[in-house]
Amino acid sequence: MGESGSSELHVGSPSESLLDDIAGYAGFEEHPGRIVRRLEIPGPAPILVLTFGERLRVSAVGNQPTVTFVRSFLVVPGAAPAIVEHNGSLRCLEVELSPWATTSCFGPLDGLHGSVLPLEDLWQREARGLPERLAELPNWESRFALIDHMLGKKISALKRVARPEIRWAWSEIKRLNGNVAIAQMARSIGWSSRHFVSCFREQIGLTPKAAARRFRFDRARRLVSGLAPTLAEVALVCGYSDQSHLTREFQELAGCSPASYRFARFADLPGIAADLACEHP
């Protein structure tokens, strides 16, 4: 560590009792010795980001960006792309949560609005001192264990479990990468489309159509990152009407074109440089 452009990735799994609630843990550490500005494109699932160091500068992509300085934050479903900046040293832990676990930890998703929600606003007491506690631990395994314990206590205490029909619907949308007929899903569980959409939004934070759109785009983004399929092939495989439709989705959900995204990489660090989004406001 300490070498220019150096970075490390560490991964961990939740305890057995949380396997349905938490997809996994990831620890990132990098010390490039320069300001780094990344384009961050949220996925379909809620993400909790915990840093232990200087505050991050988070700004929305667009002509009139709003700027937030945070150490830790929650990215809710449906969040807009953002530019995240640090001053040359970063240590952070990310947790991919299920929507129902997020509801247990932070409250109903349908009531949480905004791309970045500072953890200090959501966990006023628990958030204080958490960065220092993470920094003092000797390794990533112990950091994962601490967060696993904290989240496990909250999830088991409240256990605001989504209805089985909604959990099934979320899993199906995820399994099929968003290529689903919403009305058919409602009929499959014996609900009216209106009731299904209402319950899904209340417990997931998105309508089924919006969730399907996010999963479809997430697959497209992963395919575009490779060089093998053409953009037209990506559009076809992911269920877009044509390449122009794919391009419009990228510009709205990523802040850039798919062609630009495909080749935009840091030379020495993982991730996408924020300049890409600045070229396509």
Query: Number of C-alpha atoms within 13 angstroms, CB side, residue 60?
Result: 13
Which residues touch 109 (CB under 8 Å, ≥6 apart)? 46, 76, 77, 99, 102, 103, 203, 204, 205
Task: Give the chain's domains with CATH numbers.
Answer: 6-158 (2.60.120), 164-278 (1.10.10.60)
> What pLDDT sits at residue 64?
56
Task: State which H helix or E strand residue 201 sits in.
Answer: helix 193-204
Q: Is 37 helix (H, G, I), strand (E, B) or coil?
A: strand
The CA dihedral of 171, 215, 264, 59, to the nearest 10 degrees, is -100
Across the chain, which has 281 residues, the per-10-residue mean pLDDT values are: 67 94 94 91 92 87 72 87 91 94 84 77 84 93 96 82 89 95 95 95 90 96 89 96 96 91 85 72 41
Backbone angles phi, psi at 106, to 5 degrees: -130, -5
Q: Token pair 């496990």 is at which residue?
A: 152
Contact between residue 91 and residue 29 where contact means Cβ atoms under 8 Å apart: yes
> What pLDDT sits at residue 114?
67
> What pLDDT sits at residue 22?
95
Is 0.85 surpassed by the pTM of this model?
A: yes
Sign of CA dihedral 259, 75, 115, 86: negative
